[in-house]
Amino acid sequence: MEYNTGLRWDTAYEWKAVALLSLGFGLVGIDRFMIMPLFPVMMTDLHLDYQDLGHITGALAVAWGLSAMFMGNLSDRIGHRRVIIPAIVVFSLLAGLSGLATGVGSLILIRAVMGFAEGAYTPASIIATLDASKPTRHGRNIGIQQMALPLFGLGIAPILVTQLLKVLPWHWIFAVVSIPGLLVAYLMLKVLRNTRPTAAALHTATHDVATHTWTDVFRYRNIPLNIVGKLCWLTCLVVLSALFPSYLIDYLHLSMQQMGYVLSAIGFGGTLGTLVMPALSDRLGRKPVMILSVAGAAVFLFLLMRTGANPTALFIYLTLTLLFVFSMITLTVGPLSAESVPAKLMSTASGLVVGIGEVFGGGFAPAIAGYIAKHFGIQYIMHLGLAALAIGLFVTLGLKETAPSRARVRQQKDELPTETAPREHA
């Protein structure tokens, strides 16, 4: 299972691992977002209100972020297999237990612990995907794995759970969706391998297999830049998911059906962005695709904020904006973090970028956007997204290229003899 050494790459294991890790992340998306379409029914039975929904979703996001920050380092120390499999079992069981909740307190507790398990799964699964992938397929395979969350969580889950409501009470729907997670965990137990540090080092730009303390990740330029970048991309995403429905209804005066049609662009755009752009970065390089994505997101966000009550145009511009936003999120938490650090810090780096972004980007950005909407008007919330993208542009310009194909080209250029360099003779 060596890269570029004449030994054959284990392609069969690569695709089995990527498929299972993608299914696992898709189930994370379903378990995390299925409560949204079920909430109107749950509100009546459990006497909940909109503020309760905010507390429930916020508790999961904060627990997710804190877990990712610390469990990534644990994955580096004990192996991602020992983190991934227990995590998927725990969050699947807790998703089922959500149906037994009797009020807001029990829901917050269950969803917070579930978020902790999902946060543990996220960085470990990203690095497990990279470790299973041939280095020239890092971007494509991470894109496939990350695509599963918006596809399953934002695309399939709303349709699935609302159809199940016709035949099952909401309590049982939570139980039903926990079963696939246990099945995937069993298959991972049979298939998934831990990667030796010497093999994992082939997936990094440093090729370093030495043991490091977790704080060493900050010595690598891309990591602090990626943390700032993730805050910028999540700020843009929050604006276009949390408050955009109110913008469409209250400011553009669309109907509920038109609003739902426009918002479906988030799932479509996110799926396309995670699948297409990271794969393109395998050929063009991570940095050029990041710069292209920032520019594309800014252009289409500007067009979006200039568009009136035209559902089709809004759908197109929102799809393209989210395509580029999810492209940046995927590359930031995946290849640009993991490829930048030594082998024994890959999960730590990804976990810190994911975790800090979730806690601060997912926590502060909605509060800032809400303040702007309340005091200046909801039509100005997208200015916050544009400001975040402007900061993000400077972040991307400072990034160091990590794509293996581009790194080899650069190394070959560096090794070419110059006019003043002595030439070797046969």
| pTM to 2 decimal places | 0.81
Q: Which residue has the higher pLDDT, 380 or 328?
A: 328
pLDDT at 246: 78
Residue 375's CB is within 10 A of a number of other CB atoms, namely 8
Query: What's the burial of 305, exposed, middle or buried (CB within 10 Å: 0-12/13-18/19+)?
Result: middle
168 DSSP assignment: S
Asked if residues 297 and 324 have their Cβ atoms less than 8 Å apart, the reply is: yes
Domains 1-203 and 210-400 share a fold: yes
pLDDT at 8: 67
CA-wise closest residue to 111 among 47, 199, 42: 42
Per-residue pLDDT tens over the stretch 339-350: 888 888 888 999
Instruction: Report pLDDT for 345.
Output: 87
Q: Greatest CA separation found in the chain?
A: 84
Report the pLDDT value the prediction gives residue 205, as an integer from 0 to 100: 67
User: What digits encode the pLDDT tens for the residues 133-165?
Assistant: 888 888 899 999 999 988 888 778 877 887 888
Q: How far apart are CA 298 and CA 421, in angstroms?
A: 45
Between 22 and 425, where is the model more confident? 22
Q: When comparing pLDDT for 192 and 194, which is higher?
A: 192
* Average pLDDT of the residues in 66-93: 90
What's residue 293's pLDDT? 96
Hey, what are 148's tokens?
């599963």
Tokens of 64: 């997710």
| 3 state SS of 306 | coil
Write the pLDDT tens digit of every residue in 12-33.
999 999 999 999 999 998 888 8
pLDDT of 393 above 90: yes
For position 422, what pLDDT does the model report?
37
User: Residue 393 corresponds to which tokens in the numbers above?
Assistant: 């542009």
pLDDT attached to residue 407: 56
How much of the chain is in helix, strand and coil states, percent to nearest 5?
80, 0, 20
SS (H, E, C) 234-258: HHHHHHHHHHHHHHHHHHCCCCHHH
Q: pLDDT-derived band of residue 170, with 50, 70 and 90 as boundaries?
A: confident
Distance (Å) of CA 233 to CA 1, 66, 83, 104, 129: 35, 19, 27, 30, 22
Q: In the prediction, which pLDDT does 153 show?
A: 83
Please give the Cα distance from 254 to 261 (Å, whole number). 10
Model confidence at 169: pLDDT above 80: yes
- The fold adopted by the segment(s) 1-203 is Growth Hormone; Chain: A; (1.20.1250)
For residue 302, what pLDDT is reported? 96
Model confidence at 265, in pLDDT bands (50, 70, 90)? confident
pLDDT at 421: 38
CB–CB of 183/325 below 8 Å?
no
The answer on pLDDT for 290 being more than 70 is yes
32, 90 contact by CB (below 8 A): no
pLDDT of residue 286: 92
Q: What is the pLDDT of residues 27-75, one digit of tens each?
A: 998 888 888 777 778 888 888 776 677 677 778 888 888 999 889 888 8
C-alpha dihedral (223, 226, 227, 231), degrees to nearest 10: 180
Q: What does the pLDDT read at residue 328?
A: 95
In the chain, the amino acid numbered 241 is S
Query: Does the pLDDT at position 4 exceed 50?
Result: no
Homologous superfamily of 210-400: MFS general substrate transporter like domains (1.20.1250.20)
303: pLDDT confidence band, cut at 50, 70 and 90? Answer: very high
User: CA torsion angle for 72, 74, 79, 85 (degrees, to 10)?
Assistant: -80
For the chain, give every domain's residue range. 1-203, 210-400
Q: At CA 79, angle to CA 74 and CA 81, rounded to 5? A: 110
Mean pLDDT of 240-255: 82
Distance CA 35, CA 167 (A): 17
Over residues 247-254, mean pLDDT:
86
Chain CA centroid to CA 379, Å = 27
Residue 90 in contact with residue 34, Cβ under 8 Å? no
pLDDT averaged over the chain? 84
Provide the pLDDT for residue 211. 75
Element (H, E) at 105: helix 104-132
Angle separating helix axes 170-191 and 157-164, nearest 10 degrees: 130
Rounded to an integer, what distance in angstroms lies between the CA atom of residue 295 and that of residue 271? 19
* pLDDT greater at residue 195 or residue 178: 178
Q: Angle between the 11-33 and 81-97 helix axes, to the nearest 10 degrees?
A: 30
Residue 421 CB coordination number (10 Å): 8
What was the pLDDT predicted at 6? 37
